[in-house]
Structure 1
Amino acid sequence: MSLPRITADTLLINADIRTMDPLVPRAEALAIAGGRILAAGSEAEMRALAGEGAEVLDAGGRLVLPGFHDTHIHLQDGGHHTVESADLTEAGSAEEIVEAMAAFAGTHDRPWVFGSFYNSALLTEKNLSAAVLDRAVPDRPAMVTAADAHNACINTAAMRALGLTAATEDPPEGHFVRDAEGNPTGYLHERAVTWVNHRRPQPTDEEYREGVLWAQAHANEHGITGVLDALVEERHRRIYAAMAEAGELTVRVVATALVKPGEPAEEAVARLSRMREQAQYEMFRIHSAKFFFDGVVENRTAAMIEDYSDEEGGNFPVMFPGEEIAALFPAFDAARFQIHVHCIGDGAVRAALDGMELARKRNGPWPSRHQIAHIQFIDPADIPRFAELGVVANVQPLWARMEAPVSEMSIPVVGPERSKYIYAFGALTRARAELVLSSDWTVSTLNPFAIIETAITRKPGREELDVEPLLPEEALTIEQCVAGYTMLAARAGWRDAETGSLSPGKQADLIVLDQDIFACDPRDIGETKVVMTMLGGRAVHGGV
């Protein structure tokens, strides 16, 4: 008895397809059946697989790629902040913050007024304070949060509502900036931001859901079909699970659950194991443990091996003591969690690698693909350790350009010698490290094509600053960038059996672009538009 022949219900023809599958790297047509890739090949071959009434989509000769994966993004929080806040992205001064916040406050009568995404390299504790925000919002609490989420500021009404006074102690791994008399100025560093967020009025689940709906549409518009939400707690799990059960997600979400300093390893593993058990959906999974090992250079919380090189000097300790890392990393590794670590300074990077090496020695090697994110600075001795330990470098290339956060903040603080290894992506790839690209949205744009352009040019876009490239020897190729958003990104998220390439049996997650990013001038890549994004064989953005 012969098995029934599988036929395609959708054909994509007249396309320049790069499948990212080494067995069939290029094709002109795809056959799709039940939301999955049936085959790739010539148009004639694919038409021969079409079932009766199959839909035929003409790509118009355009480039087709697997859907992109953003492997470090704050989808739920970013969507919510975008929906509830004034957009401060373009604010370059305290006066512009005041103007934007005053205008936004006039649009609603909610109890608090929020603003988000200001540039913490331009607006610091030196020029932003409660007194500044009081000029914009004098009559109710207000809070502005930097794009990096490591810095924020609240007004006097907010300090009063929260009970923040000179007697309030700094939270662990956080700091309330104070004046000469010890009174809080309103400016917040690191976990002081969290302290405020936990005490402010809490949004409803519906408000968070609306944020996810907005954010995933924004991601789909830019060709993103999969994300790794880089910080989830119980609320995030609850919202994503409800949306997965309701069939509302249009991006595939994997997530990394937060672990905080001081939590015993056994308790932390048990807590995350319960979260993992409650997050096993086709469209949403928790698979990893998230650690913050340091903060950012802008507020001098990057952990370096040696002290800072500027006149002020000093340093910042790794946020987890060595004995905690030695307990937590092997425990999570043994429980088959991926480990995902925020590391800006070279000291944080080394501590993370040491912990991962210890876990490997204790438990033996397995395809964990533990990840270190950001890697703004790295000691050259640690570069080969990524490949040796099977650790994935999760990088945000948009930051690798000679703008204020680098030229005015990072290089002066860290010094010229260590700055030879700032965003050393080329050196990592030459040392055979597996590199994935991501945005850290809402810290910066999630547009992968703007990110790819800077990864190749190490410069801002044409419409931005005209500056010299930042360490051009650290540039990536277009091939490395696309792999870092597709095949390697899917593998880093433990979902390469289902996505990452347009291979038979995998999900039909793909994008159609308006230009060939492999052939155009690299300085034009950032202008690329997504004509269609398809998830599981269904268009979730645009169409052809």
Structure 2
Amino acid sequence: MKNYLIKNAKVWTADEQRPWADCIVIKGKRIDYVGPYNEKLAEDDVDEVDAGGKLIIPAFLDSHTHIVSAAKTLWCLLLEQREYQSIDEIMEIVKEYALEYPKEEVPYIYAYSCPTHLMDAEYADRYFMDKYVSDRPVLLCDMNFHRCLLNSKMLELMEIDETVPYDPSTSCNYERFEGNVPNGIVEERAFEFRHDIDKMYEKLNWEPPSEADPETLAPILERFTDYGVCGILDGFTESEDVFAGLRELKNQGRLNHYYHGMPLMNNFSDLEETIRTAKEWHDKYADDYIYVDTIKYFLDGTNELGTGAVIEPFVHDPHNYGKMNMSEDQLTIVFERLNQENINIQIHLVGDRAFRASLNAVEHARKNENEKGRAFSIRVTLLHCELTHPDDRRRAAELGVYINFTPAWAGGFFGDGAKQYLGEKRYNSMYAFNEMIESGAVVNYSSDIVDEEGLPLANPVLGIQIGHTRTDPQRPGQIREPASECISVENLMRGYTINNALGMGFADKTGSLTPGKMANLCILSDNIFECKPEDISKIKADIVIFEGKTVKGAL
């Protein structure tokens, strides 16, 4: 492995002690020096590289994305991203697909992604689905994996009928007609979380292509490398098999990322089992590239479906405050128990009531643990935080809670369906993070992509442009309110680098260009701090270095 001295550069380090430099020295896998250039540096055994004044930054990190979900969509019926007039139009496409591919060839049709608002049609149920395809199981999934429609054959093969209880306390459910009969609408992919789909696969004597196969994972990971991303935290690890696939890529010298995996806790009663799973995965798979020290939990649903937990009721239903899948007291117990096991937690939440309850539970857990003589030291990360009450925004910093957000949503690309539930005023208060940042909270950023088609959104420079302008490049001139919540480029850069490293638990290893850390860095095609805001997304990672090895471009 060569040693490099890169000079004549603009080095943004993300290190508050020395934010800027003009030279960086890499020896082996690590950064040896960052600072002003002097000729004595060249006396060492280094290859000198003139950067031509280009910007060098720490390699980006993505602290909430779904690589296995993205790999899964490589084999499904992927619907074109275009304007559809009705769900009937989409199901005609599914029907044509079924006619082209008989059930002997395609025993299960998994169609993705349907615009969520089209799935709100009153007639869109299992019997509507049956009219188009009834000879095999069919699943129609929305664009964010939160709502699905199933036909009767799929419900039958999974043994979901009126005898299966409905739990009104959770947003993860099979919805019902009168008499507890499943209507084909499924929230939060209950069939996967409860493993019902495994019964279907067994009856079909068929399994979908493995998303954990190295050759399936590799092209997804290569796209992240192309964007200058060197570390990924999976939204949750859908299959333990993914670790074997990643390890095989590592053995082949093709894994150029740190992977942070975590098991999903389905409900409060699963706490101890989830703790055991996290420990088992850590003991079996954790190494220099793979991390397992965190669990995931969905506290509420989505604002677009009216299942977020809100402080004020939804505008169309004065008695509906959304759904929260765990009480504040239960959440406090979870935090205390995880703190005792030194296991971190990431919590999906979108509503202001869920946000407040999480902060309250952290506050209670800290107090209870301190009274027992234990420091509260785990990382609690609140994901999405789409709607937050102003009274709660400074509490994240006070409580040491990490905040994670997907800046690409701030331009209006996602979330329009929430307006019918939240109303204009609350809708125009969403995605408010500047007060959290100013108060000292660690706010970090992610792509939260869930499919192969969405991979362009995994490019951090696109997230930075949208987070900074609150405008989607595909809808120029349309600023998503409130315009005052445009985030500075520097804060976004910190969020995608050092703050992500802090939230992922390896800031001692990466996230800033600091001597002693791993040499993970990008040389960009343009200076992100100086170019026009509308041109940020055009910037490329010309050269990407991972642990001292050039994995894109050439020095």
Alpha-carbon distance between aligned partners in 2 of 1:8 and 1:31, rounded to the nearest angstrom = 11
**Alignment pair present for 1:111 and 2:107:** yes
Counterpart pick for 1:530 among 516, 541, 548: 541
* Cα shift at 1:135: 7.1
Matched residue, 1:4: none
Counterpart pick for 1:226 among 220, 226, 231: 231
Structure 2 counterparts to residues 83-232 of structure 1, below 5 A: 83-88=74-79, 90-93=81-84, 94=87, 97-98=90-91, 101=94, 106=100, 109-126=105-122, 128-130=124-126, 139-165=135-161, 168-170=164-166, 173-178=171-176, 184-194=182-192, 195=194, 197-201=197-201, 202-203=207-208, 205=210, 207-232=212-237
Alpha-carbon distance between aligned partners in 2 of 1:206 and 1:379, rounded to the nearest angstrom = 39
Counterpart pick for 1:350 among 352, 356, 369: 356
Q: Which runs of 5+ in 2 are unaligned?
A: 202-206
**Alignment pair present for 1:279 and 2:271:** no
Counterpart pick for 1:518 among 501, 509, 529: 529
Alpha-carbon distance change, 236 to 119 in structure 1, aligned in 2, over 3 angstroms:
farther
Matched residue, 1:259: 265
Could you tell me which amino acid in structure 1 is paired with residue 382 of structure 2? I
* CA contact 1:512–1:533 (8 Å) conserved in 2: yes
* Cα shift at 1:454: 1.3
**Percent of paired sites with the same residue:** 25
Structure 2 counterparts to residues 307-456 of structure 1, below 5 A: 307-311=313-317, 313-364=319-370, 365-402=375-412, 405-406=415-416, 409-419=417-427, 421-442=429-450, 445-456=457-468
* Cα shift at 1:375: 0.4
Residue 529 of structure 2 aligns to a residue in which SS?
coil
Counterpart pick for 1:64 among 37, 56, 77: 56
TM-score normalised by the chain length of structure 2: 0.86
Deviations 1:161-192 (A, max 9, x none): 33444555446643334557875443321243
Q: Which runs of 5+ in 1 are unaligned?
A: 1-6
Matched residue, 2:204: none
* CA contact 2:300–2:351 (8 Å) conserved in 1: yes
Alpha-carbon distance change, 514 to 302 in structure 1, aligned in 2, over 3 angstroms:
same
* Cα shift at 1:437: 0.9
Residue 73 of structure 2 aligns to a residue in which SS?
helix
* CA contact 1:256–1:289 (8 Å) conserved in 2: yes
Question: When the two structures are aligned, how many residues end up with a matched partner?
Answer: 532
C-alpha root-mean-square deviation of aligned residues, in Å? 3.0
Could you tell me which amino acid in structure 1 is paired with residue 235 of structure 2? A
Deviations 1:258-296 (A, max 9, x none): 222132655543443333333321000111121110010
Alpha-carbon distance between aligned partners in 1 of 2:219 and 2:200, rounded to the nearest angstrom = 23
Matched residue, 1:239: 244
Alpha-carbon distance change, 95 to 240 in structure 1, aligned in 2, over 3 angstroms:
same
* CA contact 2:267–2:325 (8 Å) conserved in 1: yes
Alpha-carbon distance between aligned partners in 2 of 1:313 and 1:413, rounded to the nearest angstrom = 12
Alpha-carbon distance between aligned partners in 2 of 1:207 and 1:137, rounded to the nearest angstrom = 29
Alpha-carbon distance change, 206 to 299 in structure 1, aligned in 2, over 3 angstroms:
closer
Matched residue, 1:459: 471
* Cα shift at 1:344: 0.6
* CA contact 2:404–2:444 (8 Å) conserved in 1: yes
After the TM superposition, which segments of 4 or more aligned residues of structure 1 sit over 6 Å from their partners?
Answer: none
* CA contact 1:170–1:192 (8 Å) conserved in 2: no
Matched residue, 1:3: none
Residue 309 of structure 2 aligns to a residue in which SS?
coil
* Cα shift at 1:153: 2.1
